[in-house]
Amino acid sequence: MKRTLTLLSLILAGCATRDDHARAPRELLPDPTFTQWFHIRGLGLPTDDGGVHGVFRSSPAKSGTPVWTLAQWASKHSLADTAVTRQTQLAKDRFQIANPSKRVIVDSRRGEIELGLFASACYDRPRQKNEPWPHLLASTALTDTRYPADFCRVEQMQRLEVSMACRLTEFADKHPDPDPDLHAAQFQLFLYVQNLTQGDDGFGDMLWFGIPVFDNRVPLKEETYQRDGGKPDASGKFIYSLPSKACIAAGEGFVKNGLLLAGKDARWVDIRVNAAPWIVYAFKLARKNGYLAKTELKDLYVSGLNFGWEMPGTYDAVMQVRGFSLLATSKPLPPSPTIQPSAAREDAPPPAPLPAVQP
């Protein structure tokens, strides 16, 4: 009887240990400190194919292939064009790439990145309706879309803690008479929520899940959802964006007493949210509005992300980001069948020894 109870206790303890280990928060970012350098994509059509055209050396030495990418859609002066772009080592672990329309600085020891987009160097005149606008985005994949990881599966997530701290160090409005329906400077984070069930009719379909950081038009943003459009190469997919109050504490935004807080000594603004329940809500909203019709919740994974600037207006701005993290916690494993110790007989023989594990 004692042997039986001892074995039962060890089995249950082992199950609890495995469950606790499986549920421990897991960092989804493949390179949180940006040490593995960046691929640089082109400007996109009609200038080029938008493929990888260069590398930004963001640390003294890298191991493996870059997992981060810099995208610079619809801007001018490609960061991959060595005729107009210069890469500089500012300190031991601090690296810069810059040209007349963009600047990126990375501190790979601290895990900090600075994204500067100077749209005044991209526009010859104010943007008109349905015209593209300049971007400067850092993006990365979170899982292999062919063999997606369970910890990226939305249905398995109990929590997805998204956090970053942001500081607006430069902002210049160079837009004559802006139209708020057409012109803006926006810094935001988007998660790619995608159907990755191989063979499913909805495989590859997705929604954009947005976490707002800064929009020069309003101190805080309300919840929004819409079709991705407004330019020729838009995806046509469902876009959902959180209300700012869900991720920025009251009174802690980029505006104070009606004044924009920008400069080297401006305050850091913390962005924090458990995105897991919001993603489920966004999916239900997408379905209600006719999107993702061939996708179920069990098919969805958080497959990647991007963050940075989109500027449909003539603004020059720089944002610093530090402490970026995506911590996923899985739901508890289903309970194992209950084993009643009283069912064991006192004269029951000891269990057979387990087979040896071959090295």
Regarding whether 88 and 165 lie in a shared domain, the answer is: no
Q: What is the CATH number of the domain that holds 147?
A: 2.60.120
Q: Phi-psi category of 2—alpha, beta or left, where left has phi over 0 and alpha has psi -120 to 50?
A: alpha
Regarding whether 158 and 272 lie in a shared domain, the answer is: yes
In a domain, 117, yes or no: no
Regarding whether 217 and 78 lie in a shared domain, the answer is: no
Of 171, 169, 110, 114, give the one whose Cα is nearest residue 138: 114
Confidence of residue 344 (pLDDT cuts 50, 70, 90): very low
* Beta pairing, strands 68-71 & 38-41: parallel
In a domain, 150, yes or no: yes
Regarding whether 195 and 65 lie in a shared domain, the answer is: no
In a domain, 229, yes or no: yes
Which pLDDT belongs to residue 2? 44
CB 34 within 8 A of CB 340: no
In a domain, 87, yes or no: yes
pTM: 0.86
Average pLDDT of span 15-33:
76
Answer with the one of 87, 110, 133 that is the final residue of a domain: 110
CB 240 within 8 A of CB 286: yes
Tokens of 3: 């042997």
CB 93 within 8 A of CB 107: yes
In a domain, 66, yes or no: yes
Average pLDDT, the chain: 89
Tell me the per-residue pLDDT of 237-286, one tens digit each, with 9 for 90 and over.
Answer: 999 999 999 999 999 999 999 999 999 999 999 999 999 999 999 999 99
Tell me the per-residue pLDDT of 275-318, one tens digit each, with 9 for 90 and over.
Answer: 999 999 999 999 999 999 999 999 999 999 999 999 999 999 99
Regarding whether 162 and 90 lie in a shared domain, the answer is: no
Element (H, E) at 281: helix 275-288
Regarding whether 159 and 91 lie in a shared domain, the answer is: no
Cβ contacts of 209 within 8 Å, gap of 6 or more:
190, 191, 192, 193, 240, 275, 278, 279, 282, 302
In a domain, 345, yes or no: no
In a domain, 246, yes or no: yes
Regarding whether 105 and 146 lie in a shared domain, the answer is: no
Regarding whether 320 and 246 lie in a shared domain, the answer is: yes
Which pLDDT belongs to residue 213? 98
Of 142, 192, 155, 145, give the one whose Cα is nearest residue 327: 142
What's the CA gap between 157 and 302, in Å, rounded? 10
pLDDT value at 358 more than 70: no
Regarding whether 106 and 255 lie in a shared domain, the answer is: no
SS3 for 158-204 is EEEEEEEEEEEEEEEECCCCCCCCCCCCEEEEEEEEEECCCCCCCCC
Regarding whether 152 and 93 lie in a shared domain, the answer is: no
DSSP conformation class of 337: P
What's the CA gap between 297 and 285, in Å, rounded? 12
Confidence of residue 48 (pLDDT cuts 50, 70, 90): confident
Length of the chain: 359
User: What is the count of structural domains for the chain?
Assistant: 2
Tell me the per-residue pLDDT of 95-122, one tens digit each, with 9 for 90 and over.
Answer: 999 999 999 999 999 999 999 999 999 9
Q: Is the dihedral of CA 285, 291, 296, 299 positive or negative?
A: negative
Average pLDDT of span 71-99:
97
Tell me the per-residue pLDDT of 128-149, one tens digit each, with 9 for 90 and over.
Answer: 998 999 999 999 999 999 999 9
Please give the single-letter amino acid code of residue 79: L
| Beta partners for residue 26, in sequence order | 328
Confidence of residue 340 (pLDDT cuts 50, 70, 90): low
What residues make up the domain containing 293? 142-334
Regarding whether 171 and 64 lie in a shared domain, the answer is: no
Regarding whether 287 and 164 lie in a shared domain, the answer is: yes
CB atoms within 10 A of CB 303: 20
In a domain, 23, yes or no: no
Higher pLDDT, 351 or 232: 232
Indicate the SS3 state at residue 78: coil
Helices (H) and strands (E) in the chain, counts: 2, 19
